[in-house]
């Protein structure tokens, strides 16, 4: 039995496109992209879902809490689920929030730090780095992500460069899906289905 760890934020958790700021809903396991991916991979795979809404790559969130920083929890997660044959890492969306003021290179470097942590841990076999799709400024999240639509240009190229330099797999989710126009950040059901299928193909080919 091979283990695949999906490590990400609210889009890995399964938060639907939001019409209010309170997080009250979650797509079911079969709808979320990790579940779609696991079904496509078939028998012989054990799925570990580690999606945390608000999670950043390497930054303590002054509003939502320092525990949103992926570097604070990654090693514990890797140790508790070891051995991990494949880790699928998709983070960077929350780094686009106005409060951080980051450019795409810094966000990609944050993802690179997480990849290096996983590689150094000896608990992970292969890694697939997934660049999230472009953030839009829409709906209830527009002010939180003010300026993100412009700032997210070029993230896929920067993350692809990180993946090449570190010798890991790469997928630009934006080549497969778009963020939902309702809130500009989260994925609808059809997007989860398409992304899960695309990631399954990449995982199977690693």
Residue 161: which CATH number? 3.40.50.1110
Q: Is the pTM of this model over 0.85?
A: yes
Query: Residue 154 corresponds to which tokens in the numbers above?
Result: 């070029």
Residue 22: per-residue pLDDT: 78
Q: Could you read off the pLDDT tens digit of each residue along the chain, which spans 206 residues?
A: 999 999 999 999 999 999 888 777 899 999 999 999 999 999 999 999 999 999 999 999 999 999 999 999 999 999 999 999 999 999 999 999 999 999 999 999 999 999 999 999 999 999 999 999 999 999 999 999 999 999 889 999 999 999 999 999 999 999 999 999 999 999 999 999 999 999 999 999 99
**DSSP state for residue 134 in the 8-state scheme:** P
Query: Residue 95 corresponds to which tokens in the numbers above?
Result: 């780094």
User: For 192, how many CA atoms within 13 A lie in the half-sphere containing its CB?
Assistant: 25
Structural domain that includes position 76: 2-205
Q: Domain total for the chain? A: 1
Closest CA to 151 of 132, 165, 168, 166: 132
Surface-to-core class of residue 76, CB atoms within 10 Å of its CB (0-12 exposed, 13-18 middle, 19+ buried): exposed
Closest CA to 92 of 119, 58, 65, 64: 58
**Cα–Cα distance between 115 and 109 in angstroms, integer?**
10
Residue 21: per-residue pLDDT: 84
């Amino acid at each position: 039995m091979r283990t695949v760890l999906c490590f990400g934020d609210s889009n890995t958790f399964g938060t639907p496109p939001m019409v209010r700021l309170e997080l009250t809903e979650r797509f079911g396991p079969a709808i979320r992209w990790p579940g779609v991916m696991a079904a496509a991979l078939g028998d012989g795979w054990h799925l570990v879902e580690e999606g945390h809404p608000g999670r950043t790559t390497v930054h303590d969130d002054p509003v939502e809490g320092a525990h949103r920083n992926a570097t604070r929890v990654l090693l514990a997660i890797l140790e508790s689920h070891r051995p991990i044959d494949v880790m699928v890492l998709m983070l960077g969306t929350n780094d686009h929030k106005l409060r951080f003021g980051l450019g795409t290179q810094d966000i990609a470097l944050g993802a690179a730090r997480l990849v290096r942590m996983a590689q150094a841990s000896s608990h992970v076999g292969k890694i697939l780095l997934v660049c999230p799709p472009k953030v839009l400024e829409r709906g209830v999240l527009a002010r939180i992500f003010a300026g993100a639509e412009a700032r997210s240009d070029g993230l896929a190229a920067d993350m692809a460069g990180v993946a090449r330099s570190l010798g890991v797999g790469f997928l630009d989710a934006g080549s497969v899906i778009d963020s939902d126009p309702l809130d500009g950040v989260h994925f609808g059901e059809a997007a989860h289905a398409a992304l899960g299928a695309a990631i399954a193909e990449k995982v199977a080919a690693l």
